[in-house]
Amino acid sequence: MLFDQIENELMALEYLPIVFFIIALLYSSVGFGGGSSYLAILSLFLIDFHEIRSTALILNICVVTIGTVIFMRNRVFNLKLFWPFLAASLPMAYLGAMIKLSQQSFFLILGFALILSGLFLILRFLTKKIETKEFKTSRKLVLGGSVGFLSGISGIGGGIFLSPILNLLGWANPRLIASLASVFILVNSISGLIGLNMAGTFQLNHQLIWKLIIAVTIGGGVGTYLSSQKFNLKFLGLLTAILVIYVGLKLVLMNGFDIKI
């Protein structure tokens, strides 16, 4: 019985790269890295909680680096508009990653945050286009710092929280926000990894990580290409939102009520 269970888990691990390729494609098509789903799926197969967080951040970096480069080449990236978000988020993401949470507390925080961000995503794609407006620097600093801290605690880049909020508030056009989300996730993931390393909680499964890196890099490249070519991504966006909400509910029910779905 025990050997059958181990064999089933090993077989499932073989399919992880395919699953992660699909996740990276979906998330990158709307400017995200996919860290939330990586965390949820890895928690089903890996025992070490710190290894799960470290792996998700590494994969996040792989996916959004592609998007960041493409947005910069297409001159969508605008440092003059973005710097307050990034300047505030970097130290806060580091501080968030330094906090040592129990596994249950971590997944509960992540679950509730994902449910909220998924709902924001749905509203973003269903709401009619609203007039864009510029924010004061102080407002950008507050938003960037708050989301950066949450991203550090949760172990994901934070773009999945920031992007829907900015879209609903009407800060800029969706492509500009998507480019900010990619850079935001990149710098916060790097900052989070540094925080994990300083806290002594950085762990990796070297046999698995390279397979996953290849899978998400290819998936992220395809998804970013679709996004940069201005395809109609409403369907992919709504599908991603549903996936985010499902992952959030699963984490909350499993870790808060011991209910498996």
What would the pLDDT profile of 143-191 be if each residue is shown by its tens digit?
A: 999 998 988 887 777 887 888 888 778 887 777 887 888 888 888 888 8
Rounded Cα distance, 76 and 208, in Å: 34
Is 114 within a domain? yes
Rounded to two decimals, what is the model's pTM? 0.80
Is 5 within a domain? no
Q: What is the pLDDT of residues 93-115, one digit of tens each?
A: 888 888 877 878 878 887 887 78
Residues in the chain: 261
Let me know the angle formed at the C-alpha of 154 by 153 and 158, rounded to the nearest 5 degrees. Answer: 100
Is 170 within a domain? yes
**Torsion of the alpha carbons at 122, 59, 28 and 261, rounded to the nearest 10:** -30
What 3-state class would DSSP assign to 166?
helix
Domain of residue 140 covers 20-256
Encode burial over 77-88: b for 16+ CB neighbours within 10 A, e otherwise: beeebbebbbbb
The burial of 101, by beta-carbon neighbours within 10 Å (0-12 exposed, 13-18 middle, 19 or more buried), is given as middle
Is 6 within a domain? no
In order along its 261 residues, the chain shows pLDDT tens digits of 433 443 344 446 678 898 899 888 887 877 777 877 787 778 777 777 788 888 988 998 998 888 788 878 877 778 888 999 999 998 998 888 888 778 788 788 878 877 887 887 787 777 666 567 788 899 999 999 999 898 888 777 788 788 888 877 888 777 788 788 888 888 888 888 888 888 888 888 888 899 999 999 999 888 877 766 655 567 767 777 787 788 788 888 888 887 776
Give the number of domains in the chain.
1
